[in-house]
Structure 1
């Protein structure tokens, strides 16, 4: 018997209003960078733009993906090859914001939290994120991905609570995303919880990615696994070992 396992690739990317590290506005570069990542779902931050070409709807049309936002002028959005349900925006206080949505992978629900924290009072914002309305809610009981721009260069306020509640993807030296030209800090991060197994993670560091925004995109590939099936298989294997001859 094999567990029901599905694979999904997810990206987080702060597009910095399509203003590149070279000081030039170019929404086309951002579209190319997103496309080269090959992700099934993309969590975008800092989407506000002076032109229509920098909007979430434009990205969706250019990439042939569904677009989801909490409000028309929101700085956060999802692009997805999959259908998302229950997309809703939540303020975290002090300029922080979270966009939540759910999807279905292999018959199992996956919770997605797209986060953009403010640079001040981060402890309060993270407490809100972990609180009863969001990650602390009883309704958030399925595999969960939390991803976005956490707005800290090193060890910021509230990070200990994040580390105690969620599993971080990547190591600081290999997952640095900011600033794009010479990344030193893992400001853009992905956390997970529940029946998820990390298969691969990487930061896009090619020339176009270094120019397209002041942040680099961070991707993770995960398997969504039904833990009940794995428990049955584990129990079966243990019983076989107990009854094996010799």
Structure 2
């Protein structure tokens, strides 16, 4: 049985697991993101489906994508809702599988067309969750995983308060820096930007329903811990208004 401790204070060496709090329904007047950050137009779409929307966030280098790939194998009928980004693909990443890779001009056009549930600027690149297929995905699958940054999580949670939110925490900032260096996919300047953003993102961890520490060399343990959380949360009925 995975154990979780209540999050109190968060700092560089003060890493905790957060206890799941009862979901709080957001008042109707606050259930929409700010102007320009959510898809305009279109009638609200109400869903009483069997799908559980799982939002997983983590600083760059914390192992989010590896954990999510493990969850898809571990959980029955789990799918990853593919996020759109304007950054360049990393080695081995595929369009439509890992992300939808758009040129910045294309991303802006998609925003103007109202095709995003939420979008944000992260590390100098656009990232967002497309609205068009999310409803069908929630109807058709038991578990739907999305992976926005904390600012994207806040927007989705405001509109869909029944969504489950999980933050993956590195064991320390030193460990995170080493992972980024070993990954070797960023310049020194890009790596320093990610480290600065990591501190900001980690400060948002108490806003999540659960926080799970992904210790070095313990990826399988992290996957099983999060899978246990998801299975428990699947017992609760869900309703979404898009």
TM-score, structure 1 length as denominator? 0.34
TM-score, structure 2 length as denominator? 0.34
Greater C-alpha Rg: 1
Q: Which has the larger share of strand?
A: 1
Q: Which has the larger share of helix?
A: 2
Higher RCO by CA contacts (8 Å cutoff, separation 6 or greater)? 2
